[in-house]
Amino acid sequence: MTTSVRVTASAPPHRRPAVGTTTLAARAAYVLRRNDLGTMTAAAPRLYPHMWSWDAAFISVGIAQLSVERAITELETLLAAQWSTGMLPHIVFSPQSTGYFPGPDRWGCAQLAGAAPGAPETSGICQPPVHAIALQRIVETARRGSAQDRSLADDFVDRAWAPLMNWHRWLAEQRDPRGTGRLTVHHGWESGMDNSPRWDAPYRGVVVGQELPPYRRRDTEFVADASHRPSDREYDRYLWLIEEMRQAGYDDARVRETSSFAVQDVLMSAIFALACDALADLGDERRGRRDDIRELRVWAERFRSGVAASLDPLTGLARDRDLRTGQWLGTQTLAGFAPILCGGLGQADERRMLALFDSDQWCGHPGLLAAVPPSASPAHPGFRPREYWRGPQWPVISWLFSWAFARRGWADRGACLREESLRLVADGTFAEYYDPFTGQPLGSLNQSWTAAVTLDWLC
């Protein structure tokens, strides 16, 4: 493991002292092992005791540094919960864990959706398609290891190919039926960025019906300050959208027609373009997949173009689009940098976006403890440094940008994000997210995906 990364020697207020990188790696490995439920890894020991779709992908990347075989099991567990439509659900519920809300009874997928598996129980929505990216990274890790690791990884690519193709096809056809090159989400949870300012305007259009069943939140019981989490009013809307999907039987066409929330997600679309290319790259190494590879490349180009077409000439950022109102959403969040993840911009526009990424409005803000992208611009009036997706820094997102930058040939940029991110996580708490000014760990601690990306950076 690498031990040359600089970490801070003293801690700001509310922050534990940094530990050495060898100790940091050992702690990250311990977190992943402690959160291991056997064939899946809990996203966090108390707050998130089940498997989350995009968490599982990032977690598998870190686990591969410990055991390629166990990393493969992680993704296999998720793929085994795939719906017959091709959708990968955003939660796969562990029968070992109870008490989480909203649980499988609230979703009712096995009872209401013919496409849902009877077991394991799942939720009825999806999350960003980072899984092919994770698979490619596992293969890269395996190829640095033993012959057995290489064989295991190659065999898994063959087994995972059809499920991942079905997942990508479902996204391309069911979430972009008009071929715009931008995926539609029907819930902020599908983006992974639950209460981002990106969704404020679309959520205002969600009118909660009187028939919303009563509920008791559990998430606020496991964090130090409940004000950092989405509000009860926001949660009402989240749950109402689930009710709408239940009433539609989770049928894709009916959900498109009836859901109060329908937004083209520019960041999820950029991730999809990356994932299509990653899967196609893996396919290039194998014979007999020409038609699939051709389709993947077409999707990748379609979504790169769709992301680039959303560029706002005023802010220099990419935009989501609310399909219910027809309005572009110009909020200043890190999702606006989607085009530099997947490419597609002209050289001049790309240079301007990279300069903005480095500027004092974003990673170059003088108050930041680490020069990594916060979830919203510190220069924006609505910036909230401690409130979930409204300002804090998320190491897992920094990993995604670092990986994409390296893939695009910007090795120095990728290495810089890695080094700065390691400074952020150097206290060894592996928090869900961090205060960008003080580095205080926020949300859930011992978060599996934070430990996983840390371990991948250090190995």
Q: Is the dihedral of CA 97, 98, 101, 102 positive or negative?
A: positive
Catalytic residue among 194, 265, 292, 456: 194
Catalytic residue among 252, 265, 432, 435: 432
- Residue whose entry in the numeric block shows the structure tokens 């690498």: 2
At residue 265, the 3 state secondary structure works out as strand
Q: DSSP per residue over 296-333, as a string?
A: HHHHHHHHHHHHHTTB-TTTSSB-EEETTTTEEE---B
What's the CA gap between 7 and 20, in Å, rounded?
Answer: 8
For 334-361, give one letter per residue: b (16+ CB within 10 A) or e: bbbbbbbbbbbbeeebbeebbebbeeeb
- Residue whose entry in the numeric block shows the structure tokens 């969040």: 333
- Residue whose entry in the numeric block shows the structure tokens 């496991």: 222
At residue 157, the 3 state secondary structure works out as helix
Whether 176 is a known active-site residue: answer: no
Which residues does 180 contact at the CB level (< 8 Å), separation at least 6? 264, 306
**H-helix or E-strand spanning residue 433:** strand 433-434
Please check whether residue 253 is in contact with residue 226, taking contact to mean a CB–CB distance below 8 angstroms: no
Whether 312 is a known active-site residue: answer: no
Please check whether residue 318 is in contact with residue 339, taking contact to mean a CB–CB distance below 8 angstroms: yes
What Rg, from alpha-carbon coordinates, does the chain have? 20
Give the residue numbers marked as catalytic. Answer: 194, 432
